[in-house]
Amino acid sequence: MRTILLRGLFLLVMAAQGAAASSAPLPHYINKGPITALDPTPQINAVSFENRNQFSVSTFRPYETFNTLNFTNTASGTLANDQSGFWFDYSFLGGRGSMSNWVNRGLVSGFGWVWVDSMNILNAGQGIGVGSRGVVHLNGDNVNLSRSGLYTGNRFGTTSGSILITNGGGGDLANASSFSDGGIIDNYWGISSNQLTHASLAADFTLPNPVTPSHLVTGTSIGFGGGLFNRFTFSTILPNGAFRAFTNLGTNVFTPLSNYTAFTLTNFIGGAAIKTNIIQVVFVPTNGLSQGVNIDVGWTPNRDAAGNMPGWGFGNTAMVEFSLADFDPVAQLSFTNYLFLQDFSAFQNTNRTLVPNSSSALTPQASTRRPNVFTLRRFDFSQLNGRFVSTNNATYDPTLISNPDYLSNVVTLTYAGYSGQLILGENTLGNKTSIRVGDVGWSGLPINDISNFPGRVEINAKKLNLDNVRIHAQSGLIIKADDLVGNKLPIVDAPLLSYDVASKQSTLTVSNLVRPNVNRLIGDVSAYSAIWQNASTNGGTTNVYQFHVLFIDHTLSITQQVVLQDLKLRATNVVIGDYLTVGRNFLIDARNLTVAATGGITNGSGFDLGGTNLVNIWNFTNLGTFAVNRELRFGSDSTDITPPVSNIVNYGNLLGASVDLRAQRIINTNVIAASSASVSLDATDVMMLPGSSLTSLGPVILTGTHLTASNSVIAAGVGTAGGNLVLDFSDSVMDGGIGTSNIWVTSDGFTIANVHPTGDLLYTTIISTATNENEVIHYVGSTDMGVVPEGYVNNLALGRLVLDGSTNTVFRFSPPPGVENVALYVDYLELRNFATNYQDSIVVDEGCRLYFANCSVSPLKVAHSSEERVRWVSTYAGPASTTNIVYTVNAVNYPVDLNLGLATLADIDSDNDGVQNSADTTPVWIPQQAQLAVILTNYLDHPQIVAVVGRALQSYDNGLTINYATNSILHRAGLAGPFTVISSIVTPVVNVPSQSVPFIFYDLGATNILGTYSIRIDVSEPR
């Protein structure tokens, strides 16, 4: 019958609308009012509608006018429809279209709708708004919202229109056959009874850590309504998560999770023969205060629809109020969010039932349930004044529940158990089993399509101005604009967002459009309510005790992370100044993309970021955080020889499951990290400047033409995974030189390609680790120049190599496939843990050599291992292998850099003076000691020829080893160019250390030629 009546109402309304639309419109309708909801609702049929006063109506359907092209609400005007709302468009006989002009300088508000479709929209007054169940929809060609307010939810600190009544009917529970509540998801529900001793109840309900008796409830496996087959019955207790066990003495033991306080109301009724003592206790957690959620408790008389007290009578409705102070950015006023729970259990032992939530499923049989003793409501403060008739009047003590005078040791409890989850706004979908709960870190918000949430604001414009706009959307904000012409200092308060915005201006800046978080009451509220009776006698008087206990637990949170369901930005220059968490659709189409230091982007778990959603970007600069849950690809989607991206500059954090960057130039000064795969940088110029960090669970791959690295960190294969380090540059590889350092760590070896770029890494440390008896391979490609210092110049020589292995691990050095005669020159070789067993742990394959200048283990021991393929270059003194000794020759001081390992060995004598190096203040013979000189002299029949004179180092046999010395005279024509050996001075082997002998060499071919002479002293390689 109700359906027929409603249909009749629609027909009557439509008939009236048709009659109004068919008549000739007035040119101009002006309301000078006031018009209140008690007045007859005006039917406006006019080309222009101007409101200058109060215009309040109360209509079942959104109020609309006819044949209206122009609407103006002046600064003194107020439009309100607290039953439905307003629909503004050009409605004419036979169709609908857009208005020409819609101007609001006052206030337009409705319960459910403010819908505007106009070519030009100007909102410059107090604003436009609806309640939490409503929608604000603006659609136009030119939409100017500058310095105005848009809201869904609380209206400028007055009534919110967001009352959520799930039961109703006061205490008349039998009349509650169903309810519709999409704002709270029913987790579990139950009504039953059980028997317990009053002593055990007192033990349970003991402060500060009370716990409820175990009670049976029914829930769904996913926490949502829907299918009959995913329900299950289980036993639970409150607080949620508390663990109950029983000792061998039968006493209860549980793990307290929260501290509680108790509110107690007592009442005494009766005469001389029978007296009724009413004891009602509400237990609420005190931990909510630290989270910003305030809790208050009170009571009102529990009466049915006829005003009578139901059940045993004389009970009071227990009411628990959760409140959250907040700030309204639209009105710039403080307000309070509320959740109100009412418990009608006292004292109703009949008519208890589980009521289906019709919003949870398509059929009542599949719906979730809620005990009809509970009512959940969301109120505004103005509706709560005088909300509590009675408050706490006694101090709780467990002896109120357990007393030796009670006649019954065992009592029968009738209880109701319930748990519900407050979600964002309300879901209007019929079946909640299709809703996916938000991912971890997204506050558990349901993220089905934002357009299904009441409490949203929708803006669709070809040209849009958001300068200084103030928007509060209870659930979501949707903006679609072809040209955003202004967005200076907007204020946006909405937990879910969808932006599809382009700009024809030079720069599109996203700033103050996405807050990091907003305040919304979201989370679980659980309740257990039990009633029972007991009695005692005293001098012929019977005392009846009626007990009611309400136990509350909650996980309400107030701060919710803001999530962008959709983000699509199009402009020449895009600047991200806010931190954006994108849940579903992502697109940035721009020539230049900049993420500011205050900004960042995190995408959802379901998609990559690459060429399909990072479109036409030529320059990318990141000063904030750019995080991708899957793959981040910048420029690497293209196979063109010339990279599609010119510059990738990272001063912030670039994060992804894998990160793959390709550009003409890549500059990094901060963090690039891959959480589960690899980091790959490919560019003509790769610049890892101070502060640069590359971290990957897998490999780190650096390729291109030029590499510059200074004070950088690389970690390839962090954690338990393995990852190698790849360097493949065709022209140059260099670090920052003196005063800088790079620390690069790899857990699966490294690859240095077989090209031969210029430059070295003498201020770089590579730490190679091996675990679990693994073999890690190091492919090296530098030129094998032999055991000579020249191998450390423009040959990709490495400053420090640390080999750190666990038991039975192997470090293998190999030439790249198809290549031979390659080497790796290392200034300092450090062996840790099992790698100190170098005979077993270091393997150098044929065609490859490993050269080092110094070693953490005695160089003499490590040299010549792995079949003579590990060699010590004792004549090289590099940044990590140098000691400086001052020589004095002929009263002249000469500071000399010497190989530290050679200079400190105790078992060799490098300068053949009979003193071991470790005890020798001048352990190595230097060219200055040769005292080389050139004179002109007569030799045989050659007058005035060049004679080279000096001292030659002797070869020395100390009985253990022979240190052969070769003294070579070198000459070059002129003052520059390479030297050529013109003579070798062979000295006899002596066992008495004379160290050196004089020599003279006559250069018969140097007459009248400018030249330069030098001497080179070569000694045996230390063994």
pLDDT band, very low/low/confident/very high, at 97 (cuts 50, 70, 90) = very high
Query: Is residue 416 pLDDT above 50, yes or no?
Result: yes
Q: Which residue has the higher pLDDT, 220 or 158?
A: 220
Concatenated DSSP letters for 994-1023?
--EEEEEEEETT-TT--EEEEEEEEEPPP-
The predicted model gives 490-515 an average pLDDT of 93
The pLDDT score that the predictor gives to residue 434 is 32
Opening angle at CA 867, ends 866 and 872, nearest 5: 70
* pLDDT per position as a tens digit, 773-817: 999 999 999 999 999 999 999 999 999 999 999 999 999 999 998
Q: Which residue has the higher pLDDT, 1009 or 1015?
A: 1015
SS (H, E, C) 229-292: HHEEEEEECCCCCCCEEECCCCCEEECCCCCEEEEEEEEEEECCCEEEEEEEEEEEECHHHHHC
Q: CB of 531 within 8 A of CB of 414? A: yes
Helix (H, G, I), strand (E, B) or coil at 450: helix
Long-range contacts, stretch 634-639, CB < 8 angstroms, 24+ apart: 634/610, 634/660, 634/661, 634/662, 634/663, 635/661, 635/662, 635/663, 636/610, 636/660, 636/661, 636/662, 636/680, 636/682, 637/610, 637/611, 637/612, 638/611, 638/662
Among the ranges given (460-469, 601-610, 823-832, 895-904), the one the predictor scored with the smallest mean pLDDT: 601-610
Name the nearest CA neighbour of 155 among 85, 102, 87: 85
d(CA 951, CA 926): 11
d(CA 913, CA 996): 9
Identity of the amino acid at 589: D
Name the nearest CA neighbour of 373 among 401, 348, 406: 348
Q: CB of 1020 within 8 A of CB of 964? A: yes
DSSP state of 53: S
d(CA 78, CA 144): 20
Helix (H, G, I), strand (E, B) or coil at 709: strand
pLDDT band, very low/low/confident/very high, at 992 (cuts 50, 70, 90) = confident
Q: For residue 112, what are the CA distances in angstroms to 123, 153, 514?
A: 19, 10, 25
Q: Which residue has the higher pLDDT, 940 or 252?
A: 940
Among the ranges given (149-153, 172-176, 365-369, 656-660), the one the predictor scored with the smallest mean pLDDT: 172-176
The predicted model gives 649-661 an average pLDDT of 96
* pLDDT per position as a tens digit, 598-622: 999 988 767 788 888 999 999 999 9
- The edge-to-edge listing of strands for the beta sheet with 294-301 is 294-301, 316-328, 333-343, 374-377
Q: CB of 167 within 8 A of CB of 371? A: no
Name the nearest CA neighbour of 509 among 476, 530, 484, 533: 484
pLDDT band, very low/low/confident/very high, at 133 (cuts 50, 70, 90) = confident
SS (H, E, C) 484-528: EEECCCCEEECCEEEEEEECCCCEEEECCCCCCEEEEEEEEEEEE
* pLDDT per position as a tens digit, 883-903: 999 999 989 999 999 999 999
Name the nearest CA neighbour of 123 among 99, 143, 151: 143
Max Cα distance, the chain (Å): 155
CB atoms near residue 66 (< 10 Å) = 21
d(CA 175, CA 171): 9
Query: Is residue 500 pLDDT above 50, yes or no?
Result: yes
Beta bridge partners of residue 192, listed in sequence order: 415
The predicted model gives 486-504 an average pLDDT of 94
The predicted model gives 944-968 an average pLDDT of 87
The predicted model gives 620-648 an average pLDDT of 89
d(CA 888, CA 921): 11
d(CA 937, CA 508): 85
d(CA 467, CA 563): 22
DSSP state of 368: -
Q: CB of 631 within 8 A of CB of 660? A: yes
pLDDT band, very low/low/confident/very high, at 426 (cuts 50, 70, 90) = low
pLDDT band, very low/low/confident/very high, at 865 (cuts 50, 70, 90) = very high
Is the N-terminal amide bond of 446 cis, ω within 30° of 0?
Answer: no
Report the chain's mean pLDDT, rounded to a whole number: 85
739 token code pair = 């005063």
pLDDT band, very low/low/confident/very high, at 853 (cuts 50, 70, 90) = very high
Q: For residue 209, what are the CA distances in angstroms to 555, 771, 940?
A: 17, 49, 115
61 token code pair = 């359907």
The pLDDT score that the predictor gives to residue 382 is 40
* pLDDT per position as a tens digit, 368-400: 889 989 988 765 434 444 556 667 789 999 999
The pLDDT score that the predictor gives to residue 388 is 62
Among the ranges given (103-112, 146-155, 570-579), the one the predictor scored with the smallest mean pLDDT: 146-155
Mean pLDDT: which of 511-520, 534-543, 730-739, 1000-1009 is highest?
A: 730-739
Q: Nearest 5°: phi and psi at 547?
A: -110, 140
Q: Is 86 exposed, middle or buried (0-12, 13-18, 19+ CB in 10 A)?
A: buried
Helix (H, G, I), strand (E, B) or coil at 840: helix
Q: Which helix (H) or strand (E) holds 566?
A: strand 563-576
d(CA 6, CA 13): 11
